[in-house]
């Protein structure tokens, strides 16, 4: 049975809502059905692999992975030591605590840099874009919503697909392993993510079959033909830069100049001409990354998509470092500096 003109209009409306059509909604769902669109086996294999790369549970003091039961025991020990009935996420994980504070060691044990695995953080980033678009947040002005959703989901893709492990009391695929990125340090991960999106680095979905490698660029071009993949790569290259505007030390004008220089260099990598639209995209994705240290702003659902559970208590850099107050101001400063040149 062929779809009627009326059903076509209805499907178009569904696509327009929040920028989500069937294949983008499929990308963001934690659990998929078997009847997916556009070569689903490759997208699903990427998602399954992303779930194996974890940022937590991680004890930053002992440098050991924390098994779920150990983590539960630590939460109980915290409640007993401070005579509380529950772990107050806002008090413990959303505020800066001095190292001399008795709660500081507990913050390091119980609060992750961002909670969960690579899929969860990526899903939360993309859902935050959808939510801001629904809310008509000024951050999304001039931003192509579909490009931003895919960019937010894949901005950290270079943290996975490399089979790099850490081993302590057990072994795991570690997003922060010392040997990752040829031991160049975590600060280089945006470059690896951008390179992977451009097809320069392969993604290995199954580490028991390392010979089988995926080309992320080819998959994205086939799955989302309307989305410029070089713009997705640009957002990945740039996603750490916007947050640096919030780091004290250098004069604001110097930080903005550094940001714009990095933006232009990243555009060159992607064969793009720097323009304001691309700049707005990069800023939106960077903000989504910071906000997605947790799923707390996404519950209970965004466009009927339920965010993955926050099993481990995560820090909330969006609140802790005041980005919730400053992000639009920083954005305007950068846009003004760009257009004035």
- Is the peptide bond prior to 148 cis by the omega test (within 30 degrees of 0)? no
Helices 323-339 and 252-269 cross at an angle (nearest 10°) of: 70
Question: For residues 334 and 287, what is the distance between their CA atoms, to the nearest angstrom?
Answer: 14
Tens digit of pLDDT at every position of the chain (341 positions): 333 434 333 433 344 455 688 889 989 998 754 444 444 578 999 999 998 887 655 565 665 666 667 778 888 999 999 999 988 866 787 677 788 888 888 887 777 655 568 999 999 999 999 999 999 999 999 999 999 999 999 999 999 999 988 776 667 787 877 788 888 888 899 999 999 999 999 999 999 999 999 999 999 999 999 999 999 999 999 999 999 999 989 999 999 999 999 999 999 999 999 999 999 999 999 999 999 988 889 999 999 999 988 766 666 889 888 999 999 999 999 999 999 97
Q: 76, 17, 78, 89: which is closest to 316 by C-alpha?
A: 89
In a 3-state reduction of DSSP, which class is residue 247? coil
Instruction: For residue 214, report the phi and psi dihedrals to the nearest 5 degrees.
Output: -110, 145
In a 3-state reduction of DSSP, which class is residue 199? coil
Give me the residues paired with residue 59 across strands: 64
Q: 131, 138, 137: which is closest to 152 by C-alpha?
A: 131
Question: For residues 143 and 103, what is the distance between their CA atoms, to the nearest angstrom?
Answer: 41
> Quick one: how far is CA 85 from the chain centroid?
32
> Quick one: how far is CA 225 from the chain centroid?
22
Length of the chain measured in residues: 341
The three-point CA angle 237-94-25 to 5° equals 50
With beta carbons less than 8 A apart as the criterion, state whether 231 and 248 touch.
no
Question: For residues 225 and 157, what is the distance between their CA atoms, to the nearest angstrom?
Answer: 19
In a 3-state reduction of DSSP, which class is residue 182? helix
Instruction: For residue 282, report the phi and psi dihedrals to the nearest 5 degrees.
Output: -60, -40
pTM of the model: 0.82
With beta carbons less than 8 A apart as the criterion, state whether 128 and 298 touch.
yes
Using a 10 angstrom Cβ sphere, with 0-12 exposed, 13-18 middle and 19 or more buried, the burial of residue 304 is: exposed
In a 3-state reduction of DSSP, which class is residue 3? coil
With beta carbons less than 8 A apart as the criterion, state whether 282 and 236 touch.
no
Helices 276-291 and 252-269 cross at an angle (nearest 10°) of: 110
- Is the peptide bond prior to 66 cis by the omega test (within 30 degrees of 0)? no
Give me the residues paired with residue 174 across strands: 54
* CB hemisphere CA count around 72 (13 angstroms): 4
Using DSSP bridges, classify how beta strands 58-59 and 64-65 pair: parallel, antiparallel or unpaired.
antiparallel
Give me the residues paired with residue 117 across strands: 54
% helix / strand / coil in the chain, to the nearest 5?
Answer: 55, 5, 40
Q: 155, 133, 136, 140: which is closest to 234 by C-alpha?
A: 155
Question: For residues 31 and 25, what is the distance between their CA atoms, to the nearest angstrom?
Answer: 11
């Amino acid at each position: 049975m062929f779809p009627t003109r009326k059903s076509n209009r209805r499907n178009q409306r569904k696509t327009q809502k929040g920028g989500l059509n069937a294949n983008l909604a499929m990308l963001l769902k934690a659990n998929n059905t078997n009847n997916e669109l556009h070569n689903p086996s490759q997208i699903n294999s990427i998602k399954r692999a992303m779930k194996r790369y974890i940022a937590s549970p991680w004890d930053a003091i002992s440098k050991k992975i924390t098994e779920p039961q150990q983590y539960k025991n630590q939460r109980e020990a915290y409640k007993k030591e401070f005579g509380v009935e529950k772990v107050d996420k806002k008090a413990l994980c959303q505020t800066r605590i001095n190292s001399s504070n008795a709660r500081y060691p507990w913050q390091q044990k119980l609060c992750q840099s961002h909670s969960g695995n690579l899929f969860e953080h990526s899903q939360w980033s993309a859902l935050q874009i959808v939510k801001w678009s629904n809310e008509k947040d000024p951050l999304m002005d001039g931003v192509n919503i579909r490009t931003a959703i895919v960019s937010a989901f894949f901005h950290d893709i270079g943290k996975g697909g490399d089979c790099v492990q850490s081993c302590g009391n057990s072994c795991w695929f570690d997003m922060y392993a010392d040997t990752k990125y040829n031991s160049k340090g975590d600060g280089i991960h945006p470059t690896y993510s951008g390179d992977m999106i451009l097809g320069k680095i392969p993604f290995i979905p199954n580490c028991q079959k390392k010979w089988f490698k995926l080309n992320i660029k080819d998959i994205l071009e086939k799955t989302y033909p309307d989305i410029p993949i070089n713009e997705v790569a640009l957002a990945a290259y740039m996603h750490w830069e916007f947050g640096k505007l919030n780091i004290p030390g250098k004069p604001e004008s110097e930080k903005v100049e550094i940001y714009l220089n990095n933006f232009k260099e990243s555009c060159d990598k992607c064969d793009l001409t720097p323009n304001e639209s691309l700049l707005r995209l990069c800023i939106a994705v960077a903000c989504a990354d910071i906000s997605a240290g947790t799923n707390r702003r996404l519950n209970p659902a965004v466009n009927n998509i339920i965010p993955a559970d926050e099993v481990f208590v995560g820090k909330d850099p969006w609140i802790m470092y005041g980005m919730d107050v400053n992000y639009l101001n920083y954005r305007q400063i950068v846009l003004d500096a760009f257009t004035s040149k």
